Amino acid sequence: MTQFAQTSPGASPDAIQFHYDVSNDFYAAWLDSTMTYSAAMFDSGDVGLEQAQTRKLDYHLESAGASEAGRILDVGCGWGSLLKRCADWDVGHAVGLTLSRAQQTYIEGHAFPNVEVRLESWCDHSSPTPYDAIVCIGAFEHFVRFELSATEKIRAYRDFFKFCRANLKPGGKMSLQTITWGALRAEQVHPFITNSIFPESNLPYPWEIFQAADRVMEVVQCRNDRLDYAKTCRLWLNRLIENRDAAVHAAGEEKVDQYQRFLKMSAAGFETGALHLYRLVLQCPGTQEKRA
């Protein structure tokens, strides 16, 4: 297994960069034009992946209460698609956190309006004033490692929910999207995934999320949209095959072969229920705790 120095219960910056810093051109070869690297939200009338991804972004912004919000935090902001979308929601200021230098460079290079991106973990983030809303899409999967016990995993997730509660205004909401284990158990995961694709990253079981949030953040909405991710992975795979030459030029034959295998495995996992995709809305209690 790929080994990196550990500084937190989750994936280290080196492990995150191992996956996300392959090459911005590589990801651009098979993601859609929004550069959104997470499950889309489909409707029967969609004309393309971009439309479904925009619907997903709007779903999370609406769920978090982002309409005309003064300040929003995006934990694990990727290549900035949600940060960019905040402008259409009249958000005053959006802050994105990432551990990927390539993603930070991409966002800064596009100069999205009213956007600040930081190369920083949520564990190290502090804000002088509370946020109106928090969104976390596809980052929760990196918050714990495989060697942690269930108790240690829940403690790490609980620390994240405490962070969100402390950094949200009273009554504020967070919209969370994460892959979870379904019928597949963590000990059954193929070593190819942990060695070649996502080192140091372990998924939550749904019950671990609820137990971690108990009496910290209230879960007010929950849905499992695993087939949305299955369809997203199939579309990504098709785009990667269609644009293979550009992807190989950016990252090499071996990396492209790995990702074709990874996307096939992922699509099958969501189709069979081995993996689930949870979208949750959590809300702070009306009285906010003293900020750390």
Q: Establish if 171 belongs to a structural domain.
A: yes
Task: Quote the CA–CA distance of 108 and 99 in Å, as a whole number.
Answer: 14
Mean pLDDT, range 20-38, rounded to an integer: 97
Higher pLDDT, 289 or 98: 98
Mean pLDDT, range 23-42, rounded to an integer: 98
Residue 161, pLDDT > 50, answer yes
Q: Establish if 2 belongs to a structural domain.
A: no
pLDDT in tens, 140-150: 999 999 999 99
- Domain with 94, as residue range(s), is 13-283
How many structural domains is the chain composed of? 1
Helix axes 226-242, 244-251, angle to 10 degrees: 90
Q: Establish if 272 belongs to a structural domain.
A: yes
Q: Establish if 255 belongs to a structural domain.
A: yes
For residue 96, the tally of other CB atoms under 10 A from its CB is 27
Give the CATH number for residue 257.
3.40.50.150
Share of the chain above pLDDT 90, in %: 92
**18 residue type, one letter:** F
Q: Establish if 57 belongs to a structural domain.
A: yes
